Amino acid sequence: MLTTTHIHSVVAAALSEDAPWGDLTSETLIPANAIATARLVAREPGVFSGGAVFTAAMTLTDPTIAVTGSVADGTHFGGRDVLAEIVGPARAVLQAERVALNFVQRMSGIATETARYVAEVAGTHARIVDTRKTTPGLRQFERHAVRCGGGHNHRFSLSDTVMAKDNHLAILTADGQDLTAALLAVRERLSHTTHLEVEVDRLDQIDAVMAAGIDTIMLDNFTPDELLEGVRMVGGRALVEASGNVSLATVGMISRTGVDIISVGALTHSVRSLDLGLDIEVTL
């Protein structure tokens, strides 16, 4: 969940980075009594995310700035829609502008891209989920944006879930221990509330993994035909996650194989920021 405390912490750091000793340009050029009236305007259609973050960038710069009329996160908008209105000291609005836009443009870009993936799997029961391929320090913001686009979140951090991937399994069985036995030993050490997910990259690994009574099996880089066979082999005994090389061109086909979850790193690691702008008028 994206909390006010976390928003303020991240935004305050960004503002300090951008203007460590104030905004020299605005303080030099803009009269102290100038008032700015601004509108956050979409330059292209999309899905909005980051309203609270945008507002925090403004009000943490100057608490007298008022942000009103902000559309709700998750709102679909058109190419010329006004997404929020801002009134306040011109110097402060100009100082906050870049940081506020950087956050809301990236978050809205993630929400918009997620919505495209969600639309491609409509009519199936597959969930679109993100991964840990997020910008360091911005995971809560980016994960919130995925939810705004209709997607879901994977484990938040390494502390949340036991997720055994190929390198973990290689080390776990390095002493010659049977894979099923090794995973059963792992299960014995876990609390009953802890989720256990295991990644496989071949069909012939599925039976050994499923014999350990895991909760989710990840089929990594499987072809659609292999996914169909993998879902059949699991037979409803665990959640089935598809991962690897997922794109807008392939996600619909993947969803129709019967998998429960499709994890998409591209939602956060290579998304394009949406084109939003701040149109400003100044009065003295």
Write down the catalytic residue from 62, 81, 98, 275.
98
Catalytic residue chosen out of the listed positions 73, 97, 130, 199: 199
Exactly one of 133, 155, 187, 256 is catalytic; name it.
133
Decide: 50 and 11 in contact? Cβ < 8 Å.
no
The verdict on whether 98 is a catalytic residue reads yes
Q: Does the annotation count 232 as an active-site position?
A: no
Describe the strand order of the beta sheet including 216-220 as a list of residue ranges.
Answer: 127-129, 261-263, 239-243, 216-220, 196-200, 162-164
Is 166 annotated in the active site? no
User: What secondary structure does DSSP assign to 153-216, as a single string?
Assistant: ---SSTTT-EEE-HHHHHHHTTTS--HHHHHHHHHHHS-TT--EEEEESSGGGHHHHHTTT-SE
- Which of 132, 155, 165, 256 is catalytic? The answer is 165
Exposure string of 218-241, with b = 16+ CB inside 10 Å and e = fewer, is: bbbebeeebbebbbebbeeebbbb
Catalytic residue among 220, 226, 229, 275: 220
* Helices 90-120 + 139-148 axis angle, to 10: 60
Q: Is residue 220 annotated as a catalytic residue, yes or no?
A: yes
Mark whether 80 is an active-site residue.
no
Instruction: Please list the active-site residues.
Output: 98, 133, 165, 199, 220
